[in-house]
Amino acid sequence: MPVLLIASVLLQFVCLVHMVRSGRPYWWIWVIMLGSYLGVAVYFFTQILPELRHDPAGRRLVRNVRDRIDPEHQRRRIAQQLDVADTVENRRRLAEESLRLGDYTNAAELYRSVLKGIYATDPAFLLGLAQSLAGLGDHAGARDTLDALIRANPQFRSDEGHFLYARCLEALGENDRALEEYSVLATSYPGEEARLRYGRLLKSLNRPRDARRVFEDMLKRAKAAPKYYRRKEQAHLDAAKQELAELAPATE
């Protein structure tokens, strides 16, 4: 009983705070306080939920919760739309959703199905295919697809595509070329994973001083970065600290 009472009080408090901040009529106090769980439910479904549906942040929250409960929901919905209208746009959406869910085989098939006619060299579709092939472990196919993308679209720029290309070269043992790509990404990629991979590749090639410099630069950049960025990249920054600790005995 105490647990249910505490939960009821907390939910009522949340609803009351929302009511005051959003300027709702004060008679809602009686509905929330006297109605307990029922009052909270009435307030949530009539006042909060409609607001969430029209707020971008609220829609993202609802979508994230739904995806955790039913990660296949969006894909089923798009597949139904594709059954009704077999269009390039619906195939693209289904390919992207399959890629997001890690269904690389289906994603690759869908991307290949739209890489025809006027879309034969579409950079977004070629990048999606390359990502799907890399997910399947076909790094040679992914590299060749990215090469074809750049040949057909020399002005196209993509941080994720560039990073994927470097990873494919590394996976294929083309270390010199991979280092060249990582060295560019070290100053351009919007995140720490590319720099971390660059340092680790240098370390694996017995270049500890260069690797140390990369890891130290990561931590130095992070100190000047906003807090939200450090939180987002914390796992990679922690890995850089660990790599530095392991390098220390070998460089003393």
190-236 pLDDT, tens digit each: 999 999 999 999 999 999 999 999 999 999 999 999 999 999 999 99
What is the C-alpha to C-alpha distance for residues 226 and 233, in angstroms, rounded to an integer? 11
Q: What is the pLDDT of residue 74?
A: 82
Q: What is the pLDDT of residue 213?
A: 95
Q: What is the pLDDT of residue 66?
A: 57
Q: What is the pLDDT of residue 41?
A: 84
Q: What is the pLDDT of residue 14?
A: 82
Q: 0.85 cut: is pTM over it?
A: no
DSSP state of 201: H
Residue 221 CB burial class (10 angstroms; 0-12, 13-18, ≥19): middle
What is the C-alpha to C-alpha distance for residues 92 and 231, in angstroms, rounded to an integer? 32
Which regions in the chain score pLDDT beneath 50?
A: 1, 251-252
What is the C-alpha to C-alpha distance for residues 19 and 35, in angstroms, rounded to an integer? 15
